Structure 1
Amino acid sequence: MHSLRPRLSNPVRFSFKFCKNCTRRLSQQAQGPLETENDWTDFQQTRTSLKTLMDAMSQYGSTQTSQWSLRDSLHRPTKDATLSALLASGAHFGHASSRMNPNFLPYAYGTRAGITLIDLDHTLPLLRRAAKVVRAVAANDGQIVFIGTRSDIRPVVQKAAQRLGTQGFHVGDRWLPGTLTNKWQMFGHETVRSKRIVPDLVILLNPIQNMNAIQECALSNVPTIAIVDSNVDPRIVMYPIPANDESPRTAEIIAGVLSIAGREGIAIREAETQRMRMAVDSAWEDFNKMQVMQDARQPQRSDAEAFDY
């Protein structure tokens, strides 16, 4: 008759046998009294050897705890999103198959239990393409606006805008209709003339709730990037990213990748500005040196020659 006990690996079996033997030896020693000096010496030697073995064997194996923590993708996002990270965040879950937009069909992997599954093999390259766009806009001193009007993704857009410094802005409560198309009446002529009201790029984490912003960006010729779920038409934005727009963790990963790409673009622009400044300073120093050398080579005339001339 076979035993129902699962088969253990050799390290686990050895550790189990080791602990069992240690317990048996300690129990046997505890039963007998330590009367003579030899008994005390044997007991101390045994305890020392057991401590040495336990210290040596404690570094092997894994330590199991009851705590499990996710990566803090909000404050420490990944620089490059991977397929496993998107899969773990639930980015492949769409809406019900009956609600799938017909234009979303190229980005759908299939259906399971009535739910549309998003093909992450399309999500990853489109996310990288959007990251390149954000990096290029930030490198050209462009203003980028993150829009996420749900309460669970409001901290995401705030943190993403903070990574871009003075070039990053966010809308977390509500997009006011007419912000771009009616800017003269909303902000005033002086503000519109003195400040940059129209952004250079808009990133939306929940596009369905912000259709007014998408329409105004289209009328103002502002490029848009958005997380597009299976119930959304991907053609409403310029750079769609097919993913689950109801998952806060998916929004954290995508917004983190895009904001870090923008920060890299800012660093590229600052490095280019520093290089140009150093080149101008070097050229100016070379010009001054050449001017000094020309003045030194030119023959100096005496006061009498200058007067005769």
Structure 2
Amino acid sequence: MAIISMKALLESGVHFGHRTHKWHPAMKPYIFTERNGIHIIDLQKTVKAIEQGYALVRDTVSSGGTVLFVGTKRQAQEMIQSEAIRCGMPYVTDRWLGGMLTNWRTIRQRINELERLERMRDSGDFGRITKKEALIHMREIERLEVLLGGIRKMAHLPELLFVVDVQREATAIHEANLLEIPVIGMVDTNCDPRNVDYVIPSNDDAIRAIKLMVGKIADAVLEGKALRKEEEIEEEPERVMARTVAEEPELADEELLGESTLAKLTPKGGRFVFDEEEVVVVVDEEEVVAVEEEVVAGEEEVVAGEEEAVLESEDEFVVDATNWNEEDETEAVAEEKTEEE
């Protein structure tokens, strides 16, 4: 289904260009014909360009990007402001300040100054200063609100720029090109399209044509926000599950083993202590002392047994020696008697 129909474009006067003597040669590929001294824009290319720009805006917003609406010409101011507010995007409708993109830090400081003065006004601090100073501050608030009111909620540089009249907003386009910010522009037959990344050939003077184009870009922004919201809803259960798993405490090894298993494994009078790498058995001190006493007593019994064995062996040796001496004496006596005889 087409984003926009040829009938809607014809009814809005999108196809009417400028007089032929005001044309820009670079717009020749987008011109269909000439009629009564006026160039007629090729609406088939306009439809394709709108579809391409619509998809770009939708994808940019769905990924969290910001689109800055720019239109300072009188015919576009009201439409730019109303449609940008409708889709919740920043806009510039009064005058493009030099450096609004390339010197964003200074612009951000002026926005902070505007917010500071508004806080002073709302808190009643203007009543504590002279009337002249209060009047100066009020005029400064009004001036900054006109110049920066549309971008005061823009926290960072935009990811995309949408421009109604590329000839009038040449400074904005130049700054965007320096920062490599893509530009979508409504380009009439008298404009140079070479600095615009996505050219939408269209009448940029007719109010109805401007309203139609700006409305479509705002619709693309709203569709991109809807897609982003759907993605967040789909990702929410996954984030909750991941957070639940991360917060779930790990069970200790002692909790994983059953009571019966622990009872079998635990030594008498002791208990198990589970470490990350090993299992350590911790025994009560009294039990350790008792075991040590038993070991000492056993060692003493062993020593005593060894001593008794040594004594018994010595007694046997003494007895053997005694017996040997008596036999020798008997033999000696018998020999003496034999010699005497």
Instruction: Tell me the TM-score normalised to structure 2 length.
Output: 0.60
Mark the CA change 1:297 to 1:183 in structure 2 (over 3 Å): closer, same or farther: closer
Which structure has more helix as a fraction of its residues? Answer: 2
Any idea what SS the aligned residue of 2:232 has?
helix
- Give yes or no for the alignment of 1:203 onto 2:124: no
Deviation at residue 97 of structure 1 after TM alignment = 1.2
Deviation at residue 286 of structure 1 after TM alignment = 6.2
- Give yes or no for the alignment of 1:258 onto 2:181: no
Separation in 2, partners of 1:190, 1:236: 29
The 8 Å contact of residues 109 and 119 in structure 1, kept in 2 or not, is answered as: yes
Q: 1:176 aligns with which of 97, 109, 112?
A: 97
Deviation at residue 305 of structure 1 after TM alignment = 3.6
Deviation at residue 150 of structure 1 after TM alignment = 2.0
Higher mean Cα deviation, 147-156 or 219-228? Answer: 147-156
| Root-mean-square deviation over aligned CA pairs | 2.8
Any idea what SS the aligned residue of 1:227 has?
strand
Separation in 1, partners of 2:217, 2:24: 26
Deviation at residue 84 of structure 1 after TM alignment = 0.5
Aligned to 1:227: 186
Deviation at residue 253 of structure 1 after TM alignment = 1.1
Aligned to 2:171: 212
Separation in 1, partners of 2:242, 2:106: 48
Separation in 2, partners of 1:183, 1:152: 27
Mark the CA change 1:254 to 1:281 in structure 2 (over 3 Å): closer, same or farther: same
- Give yes or no for the alignment of 1:127 onto 2:50: yes
Separation in 1, partners of 2:167, 2:239: 49
Deviations 1:5-44 (A, max 9, x none): xxxxxxxxxxxxxxxxxxxxxxxxxxxxxxxxxxxxxxxx
Mark the CA change 1:173 to 1:284 in structure 2 (over 3 Å): closer, same or farther: closer
> Partner letter of residue 206 of structure 1?
D
Separation in 2, partners of 1:182, 1:288: 45
Deviation at residue 206 of structure 1 after TM alignment = 1.7
Any idea what SS the aligned residue of 1:306 has?
strand
Any idea what SS the aligned residue of 1:209 has?
coil
Deviation at residue 188 of structure 1 after TM alignment = 4.0
Aligned to 1:236: 195
Aligned to 2:24: 101
Deviation at residue 190 of structure 1 after TM alignment = 11
Any idea what SS the aligned residue of 2:4 has?
coil
Separation in 1, partners of 2:247, 2:258: 19
Tell me the number of residue pairs that the alignment of Structure 1 and Structure 2 aligns: 226
The 8 Å contact of residues 75 and 205 in structure 2, kept in 1 or not, is answered as: no
Separation in 2, partners of 1:296, 1:257: 63
Aligned to 1:44: none
Aligned to 1:137: 60
Deviation at residue 295 of structure 1 after TM alignment = 8.8
Any idea what SS the aligned residue of 2:85 has?
helix
The 8 Å contact of residues 3 and 50 in structure 2, kept in 1 or not, is answered as: no
Mark the CA change 1:295 to 1:108 in structure 2 (over 3 Å): closer, same or farther: farther
Work out the percentage of aligned pairs sharing the same amino acid: 30
The 8 Å contact of residues 33 and 39 in structure 2, kept in 1 or not, is answered as: yes
Deviation at residue 288 of structure 1 after TM alignment = 7.4
- Give yes or no for the alignment of 1:271 onto 2:230: yes
Q: Which has the larger radius of gyration?
A: 2
- Give yes or no for the alignment of 1:246 onto 2:205: yes
Gaps of 5+ in 1: 1-78
Any idea what SS the aligned residue of 1:146 has?
strand
